[in-house]
């Protein structure tokens, strides 16, 4: 199959009737056009043009090939325009699936910042279609190709996906001021926390998985947390339940910073339990994030202060 550039030269010869004029048309010398035509004829095994006193003239076979080439180049131009459109779409519009902590506490400020930066640079801002869900569902969405980029809170990188740590977060044990634990300066230990019914997120939540893994590291693989006092599907609902006195909860510090500062909730230390965690971006494909909006967004997040 001839290269498209060679077919363009054949069409230029057909339009102009001259090798030199065809060269001017495509920005090549007459010698280069002549060499390309000779190469094209050798490749196809077909005599395409003959020299005349007036320049060059296509053979009957050359006329047929030129008609095919014209149709083929027209399709190629459509494909090129379509690819450009797809590149622009992936650069300016991406589908993001994010765990609730990231979606509620971090992504809003990240997106406002990246859009402001785009306006300053005079480029099209990234448009994000966001789904907020638990980390397990984020992984499923990205793996299935239903999301271009995901953000999770789990204790480790998920198999089958590429990942990058983009921020850190700390989980804190919180109770209302009247709770008995609020009067303990030394807090509680991991064993007592494990034995206490907590207000918690649903199974599949990154926060819940991280806490369970942290308890197993301290208490052993056989450690099993007590049944939940309440199992809720959002961080906001967990926070509201603790404020209402439903029980203690281990929750992202980002979600309760204002409550702790105002005294509506109290932070209870947990001796010997490491609750600082990585927040990861996940995607499919190569080690480097996909070009376009995904890469641009992650590059901008990398310039932001780490909340943890």
85 three-class SS: helix
- Rounded to 5 degrees, φ, ψ at 246 are -75, -20
- Give kind and range of the element (H or E) at residue 50: strand 49-52
Amino acid 291: pLDDT = 80
What confidence score (pLDDT) does residue 298 get?
A: 92
**Residue 91 — pLDDT band, cuts 50, 70, 90?**
low
DSSP 226: P
- Per-residue pLDDT, 140: 95
Is residue 266 within 8 Å of residue 175, measured between CB atoms? yes
What does the block give as tokens for 176?
A: 């209302």
Please report the pLDDT score of residue 121 as a whole number: 83
Supply the DSSP symbol for 9.
Answer: H
State the angle between helix axes of 253-262 and 235-243 in degrees (0 to 180), rounded to the nearest 10: 30
Question: pLDDT per residue over 6-17, tens digit each?
Answer: 999 999 999 999
Domains recognised in the chain with CATH numbers: 4-89 (1.10.10.10), 94-308 (3.40.190.290)
Contact 232, 243 (CB under 8 A): no
Least Cα distance to 35 among 25, 16, 17, 22 occurs for: 22
Longest dimension (CA), the chain: 106
- Residue-wise pLDDT tens digits, 2-56: 888 899 999 999 999 989 998 888 888 999 999 999 999 999 999 999 988 888 8
Half-sphere exposure of 120 (CA within 13 A, CB side): 6
CA distance 141 to 83: 25
- pLDDT tens digit string along 170-220? 999 999 999 999 999 899 999 999 999 999 999 889 899 999 999 999 999
- What local confidence, expressed as pLDDT, does residue 305 receive? 87
Residue 229 predicted with pLDDT over 90: yes
Are the C-beta atoms of 148 and 96 separated by less than 8 Å? yes
Quickly state the pLDDT bin for 110 (edges 50, 70, 90). very high
- 272-282: pLDDT as tens digits: 899 999 999 99
If DSSP codes are grouped into helix, strand and coil, which group holds residue 15? Answer: helix
pLDDT of the residue at 217: 93
- The sign of the CA dihedral 115, 121, 124, 126 is negative
Tell whether the model's pLDDT for residue 98 goes beyond 90.
yes
pLDDT above 70 covers what percent of the chain?
A: 96
Judged on CB neighbours under 10 Å (0-12, 13-18, 19+), 300 is middle
Q: Say whether pLDDT at 94 is over 60.
A: yes
- Backbone angles phi and psi of 298, in degrees to 5: -65, -35
Interatomic CA distance for residues 168 and 260, integer angstroms: 19
* Per-residue confidence (pLDDT) for residue 87, from 0 to 100: 58
**Tokens 């009067």 sit at which residue?**
183
Rounded to an integer, the average pLDDT of 81-99 is: 72
Concatenated DSSP letters for 96-161?
A: EEEEHHIIIIIHHHHHHHHHHHHHHHTSPPPEEEEEEE-HHHHHHHHHTTS-SEEEE--SSPPTTS
């Amino acid at each position: 199959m001839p290269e498209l550039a060679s077919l363009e030269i054949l069409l230029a010869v057909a339009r102009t009737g001259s090798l030199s004029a065809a060269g001017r048309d495509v920005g090549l010398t007459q010698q280069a056009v002549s060499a390309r035509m000779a190469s094209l004829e050798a490749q196809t095994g077909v005599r395409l043009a003959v020299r005349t006193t007036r320049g060059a003239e296509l053979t009957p076979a050359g006329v047929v090939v030129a008609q095919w080439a014209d149709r083929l180049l027209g399709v190629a131009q459509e494909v090129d325009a379509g690819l450009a459109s797809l590149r622009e779409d992936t650069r300016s519009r991406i589908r993001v699936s994010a765990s609730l902590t990231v979606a509620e506490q971090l992504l809003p400020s990240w997106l406002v910042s990246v859009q402001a930066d785009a306006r300053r640079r005079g480029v099209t801002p990234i448009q994000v279609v966001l789904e907020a869900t638990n980390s397990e569902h984020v992984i499923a969405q990205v793996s299935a190709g239903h999301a271009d980029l995901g953000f999770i809170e789990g204790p480790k990188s998920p198999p089958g996906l590429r990942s990058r740590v983009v921020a850190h977060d700390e989980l804190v044990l919180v109770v209302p001021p009247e709770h008995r634990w609020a009067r303990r300066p030394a807090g509680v230990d991991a064993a007592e926390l494990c034995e206490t019914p907590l207000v918690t997120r649903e199974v599949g939540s990154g926060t819940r998985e991280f806490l369970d893994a942290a308890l197993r590291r301290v208490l052993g693989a056989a450690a099993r947390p007590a049944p939940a006092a309440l199992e809720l599907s959002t961080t906001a609902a967990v926070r509201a339940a603790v404020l209402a006195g439903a029980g203690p909860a281990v929750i992202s510090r980002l979600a309760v910073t204002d409550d702790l500062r105002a005294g509506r909730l109290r932070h209870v230390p947990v001796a010997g339990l490491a609750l600082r965690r990585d927040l990861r971006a996940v995607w499919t494909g190569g080690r480097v994030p996909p070009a376009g909006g995904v890469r641009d967004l992650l590059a901008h997040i990398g310039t932001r202060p780490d909340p943890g």
